[in-house]
Amino acid sequence: MHDYLRSTITLFAQPIRLARSITPETLRADILAGLTVGLVLLPQSLAFAILGGLPPVVGLYSALTATIVGALWGSSSHLNSGPTNTAALITLSVIAPFATVGSAEFVTAASLVAVMAGIIRLIMGIAQLGMLINFVSDAVAVGFTAGAGILILSNQIGPILRIDIPPGAGLLTTLTETASKINQIHWPSLTIGIATIGLILLSPRLTRKIPAVLISIVVVSPIVWLLNLKAQGVRVMGPVPPGLPPLADLPVWDFELIGHLANGALAIAIIGLVEAVAIARAIAGYTGQRIDSNQEFVGQGLANIVSGIFSGMPCSSSFNRSALAYQSGGKTALTAVISGITVFLATTVIGPFLAEVPRAALAGALAVTAWSMVDQRNIARIWRGSRGEAVIMFTTLALTLTLPLQFAILIGVLMSLGYYLLRTATPRVEAVVPDADFRHWDSARSRPTCPQLLVVDLQGDLYFGAVNHVEEQLLRLLDHHRAVRFLLLRMHSVNQCDVSGIRALETIRRVLRVRGGDLYFVRVRASVMYRMQISGFYEQLGPERFLDEDKAVDFLFHRVLDPAVCIYECDRRVFRECQELPKQPLPGAIALPLLDGKPPPRIGARALWEALHGPNPPLVLDVREPREFQRGHIPGARNLPLSRLVAERDRLPPGPLVLVCRSGRRSLRAAALLRDRAPAPQVLEGGMLAWEAANLLEAVE
């Protein structure tokens, strides 16, 4: 609790840390960069206020208050807060159903929404919920931003053509109204809008030192004034009242209005935080600065609260202003503070000039900005990358164009969460086989698999929401590969496993045990291993079931799998260990029986040595293939491979018989074949491996 209180107090001490970071060198750089950003912030604040259905001066109030407060309490050194196109558009969508656009009630409601969104952001920052922003996927952000860009673009048709379109009209209404009033186009306004767009697009080719928007406004506005186009019907900004922003008379006790605006405030808070954190992290990728999401939440929350209290509008962070702060050489958050002060000084000095800025010019500037919001590169990347995310992106885009924006955002977020839960609840369960070089694992689709051992990748967590899917997929694989008795699970992608996951693994193991096999694991993470240990599952299996990945197949091949199947019944060479294995198909349709019931008697290596040197030595029958036999065998042993034993078992001499192979597994198959013989044949326990370990004499041919 003490640590939480200390971290909370630290969140509000950010201005002190900023002040300590300022040096004469950074101060000089920040002043120059701040002046540059302020010259962009000024026309944008006017345009975005108009976009939100608000008087232009409201944008100036927000540019002064939100920009300064967001910089002082934010985490990023370059993030520039203030009016943005997205926040303006959502504000218009949220308030238009409850108040007349442009009215005093509308302006007051906008300030109230700013305070409400700010409180939501501030609470999230204090509660250290910065990680929640990760649940808003790129698909939602890209889809919503593209949809918002299209809406903003459509909203500029009216000002550019000077056609009266109902405030807050949707895309379809705007297009139908424009089509019905096409004969009312005001050509001077259209010329101004096109000229502004052309200047913004051409200016970067001439110079990048002066913002293109500023160049277009400075060039177009004097021409409109000199040609007296206002007298011909060109609409201009009108008087901009100078001075500091006044306190807003907020209807804090109007709970009905607050209830109506709550969803919109939540949507503005969420999408604004997504924008702010995404922009801050993008620029931090160039500067190397570490971004604190919780600190940024606090900064954005306080910025909106102060903006609303001082008659401003909901605000967020602007990518182009933030990028300009970095490109202009800004070093600290003081850059944004200087940009806000620049707006205040500029409105005081050039207020009369701002009054003559044509609205068609601002609409043209907004149209260019809106088109840039349709991120075609990211849209194409999401489309190529994931069909699920592509569906979410285009659905969010369509909802943005058809529903109130707050609902479009919230539905998009819910779709992202649903898609995330669907993916985690249905992890891939895939059979794999070695590639041609035996260095990596590839999907086993349309590839031959081992008839005894199935290797499976689990690519997701084993929690209660996923265990049914995982269990069903594993059972389906085992049902498809009916001869498989051993299952090797690769667990490197399993980070969590709960009690339900353990239960599912126990079910799979029971199925394998019924077949006479077992379950093995590789690359089990520590958290999953801990869960297996405390649940008793690890003790049930034993440590020998958890293998080193590099040695797992080698161990299973030489110690667990039935070599009789590999040599006599399998024509595949799936693993590296299979490559040198002699293949000897059994004649006709003969199949080697499996040993069931009572196991055959066994004899140890030392006991067999003593029996061979006793008065009645047994016949040693080595059932390996001739190539194996010739490399080393028990002196006096007779070589009769299993493939020949099937046909010659009735011609074996009577008397005691000991069956020998490499490790004892083929001897068990031979014992099953000779189960009716009396006396029952013995099996050398451990095979030739045990004989060699006992340092007993071997014959080599």
Please indicate whether residue 111 or residue 569 has the higher confidence score (pLDDT): 111
The pLDDT tens digits for 263-283 are 889 888 888 888 788 778 767
Q: Does 85 have pLDDT greater than 90?
A: no
* pLDDT grade for 290, boundaries at 50, 70 and 90: confident
The residue-averaged pLDDT of 112-134 equals 86
Beta bridge partners of 549: none
Task: Give the pLDDT band (50/70/90) at residue 445.
Answer: confident
**pLDDT band at 454; cut points 50, 70, 90:** very high
| Mean pLDDT computed over 565-570 | 78
Low-confidence winner among 126-140, 237-251, 370-384, 609-623 (lowest mean pLDDT):
126-140
Q: Give the Å distances, CA to CA, from 346 to 43, 60, 243, 341.
A: 11, 10, 11, 8
Residues 6+ apart with CB under 8 A from 56: 45, 46, 49, 50, 237, 238, 240, 354
Mean local confidence (pLDDT), 357-383: 85
| Residue 107 confidence (pLDDT) | 94
Burial 532-570 (b: 16+ CB within 10 A, else e): beebebbeebeeeebbeeeebbeebbeebbbbbbbbbbb
Evaluate whether 647 touches 606 at the Cβ level (below 8 Å). Answer: no
Q: Check whether 309 has a pLDDT greater than 80.
A: yes
More confident residue, 262 or 129: 262
Give me 50's structure tokens. 């108009």
What is the pLDDT, as a whole number, of residue 578? Answer: 85
Looking at per-residue confidence, does 687 or 355 come out higher?
687
Q: How far apart are alpha carbons 698 and 622 in whole angstroms?
A: 13
Output 335 or 39, whichever has higher pLDDT.
Answer: 335
Residue 126: what are its φ and ψ, rounded to 5°?
-65, -40
pLDDT, position 147:
85
The segment with the largest mean pLDDT, out of 347-356, 502-511, 657-666, is: 502-511
Measured distance CA(483)–CA(683) in Å, rounded: 25
User: What spatial distance separates the first Cα and last Cα of the chain, rounded to whole Å?
Assistant: 79
Q: What percent of the chain has pLDDT over 90?
A: 34
- Three-class SS state of 237: coil
Span 667-680, average pLDDT: 85
φ, ψ for residue 560 (rounded to 5)? -120, -50
> Reduced to 3 states, what is the DSSP secondary structure of residue 9?
helix
Residue (of 416, 421, 442) closest to 431 by Cα position: 442
- HEC string for 604-615: CHHHHHHHHCCC
Q: What is the band of 595 on the pLDDT scale with cuts at 50, 70, 90?
A: low
- Model confidence band, residue 429 (pLDDT cutoffs 50, 70, 90): very high
Report the share of the chain in percent with pLDDT over 70: 95
Report yes or no: 77 and 332 within 8 Å, Cβ to Cβ: yes
Query: 443 pairs with which residues across the strands?
Result: 432
**Band of the pLDDT at 589, cuts 50, 70, 90?**
very low
Alpha helices in 52-170 (DSSP H): 56-73, 85-95, 104-126, 138-155, 157-161
pLDDT digit string, tens, across residues 30-65 = 888 888 788 778 888 888 898 888 998 999 999 999
Taking the model in full, what pTM does it have? 0.68
Arithmetic mean of pLDDT, 595-605: 79
Structure confidence at residue 597 (pLDDT): 60
* Residue 427 backbone dihedrals phi, psi, to 5 degrees: -65, 155
Pairing, β 518-522 against β 657-660: unpaired
pLDDT of residue 596: 59
pLDDT score recorded for residue 345: 85
pLDDT tops 80 at residue 168:
no
Q: Which tops the pLDDT comparison, 238 or 545?
A: 545
Q: Which of 299, 237, 311, 303 shows the shortest CA–CA distance to 61?
A: 311
The tens digit of pLDDT for each residue in 637-647 reads 999 988 788 88
Widest Cα–Cα separation across the chain: 131
pLDDT value at position 591?
54
**Mean of pLDDT values over 16-40:** 85
Please tell me what DSSP assigns to residue 358: B
The answer to whether 572 touches 450, Cβ cutoff 8 Å, is: yes
Distance CA 480, CA 482 (A): 6
Cα-trace Rg, the chain: 39
Q: Are strands 441-443 and 428-434 parallel, antiparallel or unpaired?
A: antiparallel
- pLDDT of 335 above 60: yes
Least confident piece of the model among 1-10, 77-86, 378-387, 583-592:
583-592
Residues 146 and 150: their CA atoms lie apart, in Å, by 6
Tell how strand 441-443 and strand 486-490 pair up.
unpaired
Token representation of residue 512: 């394998």
Q: Say if residue 416's pLDDT is above 80.
A: yes
Beta bridge partners of 358: 236
Instruction: List the beta bridge partners of residue 521.
Output: 489, 546
- The phi, psi pair for 521, rounded to 5°, reads -135, 150
> 583's torsion region: left (phi>0), alpha (psi -120 to 50) or beta?
beta
Cβ-in-10-Å burial (0-12, 13-18, 19+) of 299 comes to: buried
> Helix 405-425 and helix 85-95: axis angle, to 10°?
110
Lowest mean pLDDT among 39-43, 219-223, 516-520: 39-43
The Cα 638–Cα 620 span in angstroms is: 6
Residue 312 has pLDDT above 80, yes or no: yes
Q: Across the chain, what does the average pLDDT equal?
A: 86
